[in-house]
Structure 1
């Protein structure tokens, strides 16, 4: 196992111990807790499609709530190795800003980055603006929808880096720039006092190529074990109707995750 992987694992266990220690703290600063929340998760992943190896996943989400707005920060990585050799990397992150315009509606801005060698992208940058609305928002149920428009710049991995020969007939060629429309839907429901089922889907439509549709879906069952620690079983599906030459359209990733929240 490489040195940087040991660092990742040590960091995870540090966060785990930190999360457990939070249980002993009193509820002082309840006001501050409402304004800041965070989750960090570590996953063991078995994947099919473009990724067919055992991998590690580390994700962290931080949310800052203000009087009439909210700032979300996210960073995640998936690292795959085979016989001690690095075979694939996935790095992604985003910054999202919501500005409330009513009790359940908000304006939003979203900036994201992705490096996904599993799908042939050396880097992808996107910016979108839009509006969101909570159709349902209670303690036990949420139904949220967002829509908007933006732009994407993405760089395709060169042949010598991907080590996969191109397939003729694809619209992808080195660098793509296009306008997009974005639709996001998320639902969550408490099925017991300690378990929550959530489903979310993001749909990206290339406004220059009608057939270029990307779908990202995530289903998760989260069971709280103690105050700050939960176990999560999840399924991620990534679909690209016009994949980079040499790659398949669909990635399916199953996750078994420890989630630390504070």
Structure 2
């Protein structure tokens, strides 16, 4: 009986590390890559390419998020739309619902009238709904914007940021998201902007999903000679990284 006690202890000591190995720590990194492509030939010759990259790092209370977008379309061999965007935002949680943020973004869209629009932002986020079905958060803060325009004088000005981010989990494999942003211009009050990004995403496999997106960008006082509203509809294949 005495000999069996050391044997039992040895078995327990060997089993504990094995149990811990099954519970690997969750990686603080997550990301996704979306790709869309359309090409037609014959009576009409069109091509469009879309790329959407997202990466997020979370180590409570800190967080970091990167977003990159590229969209290009051509008709008859002539480019009629091209837009690129890259942005990074850092966050710091101060409670379950409140957090602070600071970020920087750069955007190029010559078909909307600017070679570069750089925005520095900072403010606070309040989580109104915490899920699991509905998630809703509001942003508020200040911005500094620099615009290098295709025509006319370049601009630098102080502005604001009011935003809402919403997620509706329809099922275990489907979700709807909406990201709405209002950018007031403190220098020219009539030159405010609104952006809206809507997406419906459905999982195909554990890592692949199909996504339908619709983006709207509205400028109440656009660059002279350009329209106020731009829209983009995309159907893309998204891979979780």
TM-score for both structures, normalised by structure 1: 0.77
Report the secondary structure of 1:78's partner residue.
strand
8 A Cα contact 1:45 1:254, kept in partner: no
The answer for the alignment partner of 2:25 in structure 1 is 31
Q: Structure 2 stretches of 5 or more lacking a match?
A: 1-20, 40-45
Q: Aligned partners of 1:66 and 1:214: how far apart in 2?
A: 33
Question: How far does the alpha carbon of each residue in 1:172-202 deviate from its partner, in whole angstroms, 9 at most, with x for none?
Answer: x320111010011011111122111111101
1:139 maps to what in 2?
132
1:93 matched to 2:86? The reply is: yes
1:22-47 CA-partner distances (Å, limit 9, x unpaired):
xxxxx9785243x110011012479x
Match of 1:184 among 145, 151, 163: 163
Report the CA distance shift for 1:199/1:175 in structure 2 as closer, same or farther (over 3 A). Answer: same
Distance 1:144 1:246, change over 3 A: same
Alignment: residue pair count: 215
| Counterpart secondary structure, 2:184 | strand
Q: How has the CA–CA distance of structure 1 residues 76 and 30 changed in structure 2, closer, same or farther, with 3 Å as cutoff?
A: farther
* Cα distance in 2, alignment partners of residues 45 and 186 from structure 1: 29
Distance 1:242 1:121 in 2: 13
CA contact (8 A) 1:91 1:116 kept: yes
**2:88 matches 1:107:** no
Q: Which residue of 1 aligns with 2:205?
A: 226
CA distance in 2, matches of 1:157, 1:88: 15
Deviations 1:129-179 (A, max 9, x none): 100011111232210111100210101114xxxxxxxxxxxxxx3201110
Aligned partners of 1:45 and 1:57 also within 8 Å: no
CA distance in 2, matches of 1:31, 1:214: 42
